[in-house]
Amino acid sequence: QLVYELCLKQIHVTKRDLFYTDVKLFVKQGDSDDVLEDVACMLGCTRSSLQVVASEKGVVVGRISFEDAGDPIDCTRMGVGGKAIPPFVDRVTNIRSDAKFILLVEKDAAFMRLAEDRFYNTYPCIIMTAKGQPDVASRLFLKRIKTELNLPVLGLVDADPYGLKILSVYMSGSKNMSYDSAHLTTPDIKWLGVRPSDLDKYNIPEQCRLKMTEHDIKTGKALLNEDFIKKNPIWLKELELMVKTKEKAEIQALSNFGFQYLTQVYLPQKLKDGDWV
């Protein structure tokens, strides 16, 4: 009934709003979220088409402009923080860009470094992050701009199993929203870094490398059986190296060579060499 009302009035609410319509009925937000997913699955539609969205999480900056509900947005003029990715991606229109690629970043810290250094001016690109595990709006936005602009997507994540899991959600979807994967996934993401082989290639010092926990190793071994890993021999080799050495590293490990090493040395060298897989 609530969703029907939203669709009739053509207004959007957040998942939190939906929960607070009857907290005694739902008890906790997870319950109302589950009901919403069931409704979307039953109707065979996306959750966003039911007019219910998650709160803003992802951000974008760089060589892209668009209109958000008719308001012009220029992402080269959004400062270090970037532009919040609109939760109502269906209201984004008139997308324009002269970028050569999309740089998909796992973490907010790396995003801020790239934004502050205006990396997109030297290497024309669109930079976006969902600050960890991607939300639906970020996944929809990535698929939308990748499809409309026909740009390659390069992933920059930590050299650990969770960085790969984050890429897998963008590429093949999450298990709890598998019914909606066709609308949310961007299958052909290239792994730019940080890869396990980069630790020796770029001489990452021992004090910047972290020992993998037993849980990390278990997660890494489980990923070896995932289709998105098995179908790419180089990804498989990189993950096997990670599990064998039992070492991991965050993007921030590159800061050992200087805070701007990421934007002035590491990424320029990667892009020059075409070093993505």
Helices (H) and strands (E) in the chain, counts: 15, 13
Beta pairing partners, 14: 53
Do the Cβ atoms of 7 and 50 come closer than 8 Å?
yes
Choosing from 20, 120, 179, 266, the catalytic residue is 20
Among residues 160, 164, 166, 171, the alpha carbon closest in space to that of 250 is found at 160
Strands (E), the chain: 13-14, 52-53, 59-62, 65-68, 71-74, 83-84, 92-96, 101-105, 125-129, 153-156, 189-193, 210-211, 247-248
Answer yes or no: 20 catalytic.
yes
User: Which helix H or strand E contains 215, and what residues bound it?
Assistant: helix 214-223
Q: Which residues lie below 8 Å from residue 180, measured CB to CB, with a gap of 6+?
A: 40, 46, 47, 173
Query: Cβ–Cβ contacts within 10 Å for residue 128, how many?
Result: 26
Q: Which residues are catalytic?
A: 20
